[in-house]
Amino acid sequence: MLAAVALAGAQARGGTRAGSRRAVSAAIRTVASYLGNTPAVCRASYVDPRVIDRFQAGVVIPLPAGEPDLARPRVRREIEASVLDLLGDAGAGVGRRALG
């Protein structure tokens, strides 16, 4: 979920292929820091690769305006539901596509 939120925020800033790779690396580092683990272990064991695949295809979860407050149960439930939708059925029709 944390990686999906980080990548959705990165997609909002737009970018290039290199920018996309940097965004994935930054998202993995963010999750690793939160979990107290290394980025390699985090990517291999904790971040579903479909989140990264969807991001690279231009599909991300919708985010509320501003920084989402994951401490609020309602916000967390909404984001969790969005991530489950993103992962299900190859992300078809879910999330928002990159413009251009």
SS3 57: coil
Look at residue 98 in the predicted model and tell me its pLDDT. Answer: 39
The residue-averaged pLDDT of 24-43 equals 95
Residue pLDDT, tens place only, 52-95: 999 999 899 998 777 788 889 999 999 999 999 999 865 444 44
Average pLDDT for 10-24: 81
Q: Which amino acid is at 85?
A: D
Compute the distance between CA of residue 90 and CA of residue 4 in angstroms, rounded to an integer.
Answer: 15
Q: How much is the pLDDT for 96?
A: 47
Q: Find residue 96's DSSP bridge partners.
A: 60
Beta bridge mates, 60: 96
pLDDT digits (tens, 9 = 90+) for 28-37: 999 999 999 9
Host domain of residue 59 = 2-97
Pick the range with the lowest mean pLDDT from 2-6, 17-21, 64-68: 64-68
The tally of domains found in the chain comes to: 1
